[in-house]
Amino acid sequence: MIELYHCVSARSFRPLWMLEELAVPYRLHLLPFPPRAHARQYLEDNPLGTVPLMKDGATRMTESAAMCQYLAARHGDGQFDVAVDDADYGSYLNWLHMSDATLTFPQTLVLRYTHFEPAERRQPQVAADYARWFLARLRAVDTALQHSDFLCAGRFTAADVAVAYALQLAQHLGLDGQFPRAVADYWLRLQARPAFQSALRAQHRAALEQGVDPTPSPDLRPA
Ligand SMILES: N[C@@H](CCC(=O)N[C@@H](CS)C(=O)NCC(=O)O)C(=O)O
């Protein structure tokens, strides 16, 4: 059975939601955030200390967007991925990679220099600059959504799952009020998907069962 190591509403939400879309059985391991500080034994499984970690037989992955691609290709029967010979294949890969390299990355600086660093190390100017950078990068998403409900191939794919996490994180950072109209509507549409809602319920239930704080990781504040 696929095993997913997850912190509540961290990037590991991407493969969790993908698993729910695919209705593939999985075992969810909840970790307190950040695992490197609060679950030291996890470093034996993933020396980076980051989530997600996904195990599928001998396969072991630590990149959330790659997991979405892998799960869609391997378990989706063509429903959520885009075939190599499809005209939108390049676009599909581009969105998958953009989801973390371009859209989530600047937000991690906002989170870190607004909330996670001790007061004397906070950098409001850095946080403001990278929030602006993220919002500027959203122009690509806004443009793609002018003529379609989804990012590529004219249908919902793993690329939407990957990019949506950047919107989810932005909501936790209070940036969603600045989403362009088409992006705000897209984000609402995606949250209404039954699999998105069941992923939210699954992480909450697993956190309670496994004795982990169910507060979304981006909302946690170091003591
Ligand atoms: N590029 C990786 C990034 C993984 C990552 O940095 N995850 C964060 C949570 S969203 C984490 O585990 N942070 C804890 C830490 O850095 O110690 C991915 O997309 O999976």
In a mutational test of the pocket of ligand 1, which residue from 6, 11, 36 has the highest number of ligand atoms less than 8 Å from its CB? 11
203 Rama sector, left if φ>0, alpha if ψ -120 to 50, beta otherwise: alpha
Q: CB neighbours (10 Å) of residue 83?
A: 12
Question: Ligand 1 centre and the CA of 201: distance in Å?
Answer: 21
Chain segment 102-150, per-residue pLDDT in tens: 999 999 999 999 998 888 999 999 999 999 999 999 999 999 999 999 9
| β-sheet with 59-61: strand ranges across | 26-30, 2-6, 53-56, 59-61
d(C-alpha 210, C-alpha 206), whole Å = 6
Q: CB neighbours (10 Å) of residue 122?
A: 15
d(C-alpha 67, C-alpha 171), whole Å = 23
DSSP state of 103: I
Question: Ligand 1 centre and the CA of 111: distance in Å?
Answer: 12
Question: Ligand 1 centre and the CA of 60: distance in Å?
Answer: 15
pLDDT of residue 222: 77
Contacts of 145 (CB under 8 A, 6+ apart): 151, 182, 183, 185, 186
Instruction: Kindly report the protein residue whose alpha carbon is nearest to atom 15 of ligand 1.
Output: 50
> Contact 80/72 with Cβ under 8 angstroms?
yes
Indicate the length of the chain as a whole number: 223
How far from 174 is each of 5, 28, 64, 177, 188, CA to CA, in Å?
26, 28, 23, 7, 15
Q: Is the CB of 21 under 6 A from ligand 1?
A: no
pLDDT of residue 9: 98
Q: Is the CB of 63 under 6 A from ligand 1?
A: yes
Average pLDDT, the chain: 96
d(C-alpha 107, C-alpha 129), whole Å = 10
Nearest to 18 by CA among 216, 161, 192: 161
Residue type, 106: P
Question: Ligand 1 centre and the CA of 179: distance in Å?
Answer: 24
Dihedral over Cα of 21, 33, 1, 46: its sign: positive
pTM: 0.96
Chain segment 187-218, per-residue pLDDT in tens: 999 999 999 999 999 999 999 999 999 999 99
* Structural tokens at position 204: 């909450």
